[in-house]
Amino acid sequence: MNLPRKHTLPPHQVRRYLEPGPVVLVSSSWQGRRDIMTMGWHTVMEFTPSLVGCVIASGNHSFELVRASGECVINLPTTALTEAVLGIGSTSGAEIDKFDAYGLTAQPSRLVGAPSIRECHAQFECRLHDDSLVDKYNFFVWEVVAARAAATPAHPETLHYQGEGIFTLSGRVVDLSRPGLK
């Protein structure tokens, strides 16, 4: 077997290899204000209850809204929303209404006050589960309290951020399921 040669990487580029999850749009609201932020990193922490961890920088307009409300919606866009994803990630909700600016529909959520984004393939309504790492690392742990997804396609084409403006698209699906696998 011919093993590939390795080269030295600056530590800040490690994210290109470790951020496989899809880009999501996090919607939030508090006292009549609403926002959407693009997020390229999140992690599933537990299955039951369904816990998702993420970092929301304290300088981000969404930080103030999710910190005050203790709620958000993690929306899963497909590649059809690529331009909106880029625009949302490059603008501040303190200056514009991102729903209006990017032609997205704010849809009422079932269990949280934050709006869902109708055009997204899936929406995961979240309540703050643990904020013990927010002050130190801006790390939020959310509990998904309601979830819905489009029935088709079963495996939507999603964006995956690798840093510095580089994205990959979700690849082909390989079904290796068999009894005994979790």
Residue 134: CATH number of its domain: 2.30.110.10
- What whole-number distance in Å separates Cα of residue 27 and Cα of residue 117? 8
Domain membership flag for residue 5: no
Is 61 within a domain? yes
Distance CA 13, CA 83 (A): 24
User: Is residue 10, in this structure, part of any structural domain at all?
Assistant: no
pLDDT digits (tens, 9 = 90+) for 38-91: 999 899 999 999 999 999 999 999 999 999 999 999 999 999 999 999 999 999
Whether residue 3 lies inside any domain: the answer is: no
Say what the pLDDT of residue 9 is. 77
Which structural domain, as residue segments, surrounds residue 105?
Answer: 19-150+157-169
User: Could you tell me if residue 182 is inside a domain?
Assistant: no
Residue 125 has pLDDT above 70, yes or no: yes
Looking at the DSSP assignment, which residues form a beta bridge with residue 71?
A: 127
Mean pLDDT of the 92-121 span: 98
Give the model's confidence band at 32: pLDDT under 50 very low, under 70 low, under 90 confident, else very high: very high
β-pair type (122-130, 139-149): antiparallel
How many structural domains compose the chain? 1
Tokens describing residue 150: 């489009």
In this structure, is residue 14 part of a structural domain?
Answer: no
Strands laid side by side in the 122-130 sheet: 33-39, 24-30, 71-76, 122-130, 139-149, 51-55, 43-46
> Helix or strand or coil: residue 117?
strand
Mean pLDDT for the stretch of residues 130-156: 96
The predicted pLDDT at position 19 comes to 63
